[in-house]
Amino acid sequence: MTANPCLTCGACCAHYRVSFYWAEADDATPGGVPASLTEQLTPFRRVMKGTNCPTPHCTALEGRVGEAVSCSIYARRPQVCREIMPSYWDGVTPSDKCDNARATRGMALLRPEDWHDREPDPDVPPLAA
Ligand code: SF4
Ligand code: SF4
């Protein structure tokens, strides 16, 4: 059995600016993204702290990129995070966002076989709903 590749990656959480509609945060939507971990970006958009800069690293990302990582607000992460799909998580579909984030760090791009024999996991894919 192999582990979910995202759990030893985290590159996309340390590559992109993570912005979203302000009302996804928990001061507008109970159970939403913790507002304390966000900054105002525009009158209508917020951004995850740590990601609105030239070298992003989301404040909610725990662990070390490329080794072992987790999202400390996994169940409450913004929709934009749920929409990033790891390449070939379904065996057939590549993901430019995943590939770009990994390539920037010199990490090998995911292949369909990286998902073979993966342990059963209710959070598949981990960064998507
Ligand atoms: S909120 Fe979680 S999934 Fe989204 S960028 Fe931050 S650590 Fe990654
Ligand atoms: S979606 Fe891709 S870049 Fe993001 S954590 Fe998973 S494998 Fe890494």
Give the C-alpha separation, 17 to 19, whole Å: 6
Q: Ligand 2, residue 102: give the atom nearest the CA.
A: 3
pLDDT tens-digit readout, 34-68: 999 999 999 999 999 999 999 999 999 999 999 99
Decide if 15 contacts 55 (C-beta within 8 A). Answer: no
Q: Ligand 1, residue 84: give the atom nearest the CA.
A: 3
**Ligand 2 pocket check for 58: Cβ under 6 Å:** no
DSSP 15-76: TS--EEEGGGBTTTSTTSB-GGGEEEEETTEEEETT-SSSS---TTEEEETTTEEEETTGGG
Structure tokens at 102: 């990994």
Decide if 68 contacts 7 (C-beta within 8 A). Answer: yes
Instruction: Give the ligand at the shortest distance from the Cα of 98.
Output: 2
Give the C-alpha separation, 33 to 86, whole Å: 22
Extract the runs of DSSP E, i.e. beta strands, from 68-125: 68-71
C-alpha 58 – ligand 1 centre gap (Å): 6
pLDDT tens-digit readout, 71-89: 999 999 999 999 999 999 9
Give the C-alpha separation, 85 to 126, whole Å: 9
Assessment of whether the complete model's pTM goes beyond 0.85: yes
Report the pLDDT value the prediction gives residue 4, as an integer from 0 to 100.
Answer: 86
Instruction: Give the ligand at the shortest distance from the Cα of 115.
Output: 2
Closest Cα to atom 4, ligand 1: which residue? Answer: 81
C-alpha 8 – ligand 2 centre gap (Å): 9
Percent of the chain with pLDDT over 70: 91
**Ligand 1 pocket check for 6: Cβ under 6 Å:** no
Structure tokens at 47: 């951004």
Decide if 17 contacts 56 (C-beta within 8 A). Answer: yes
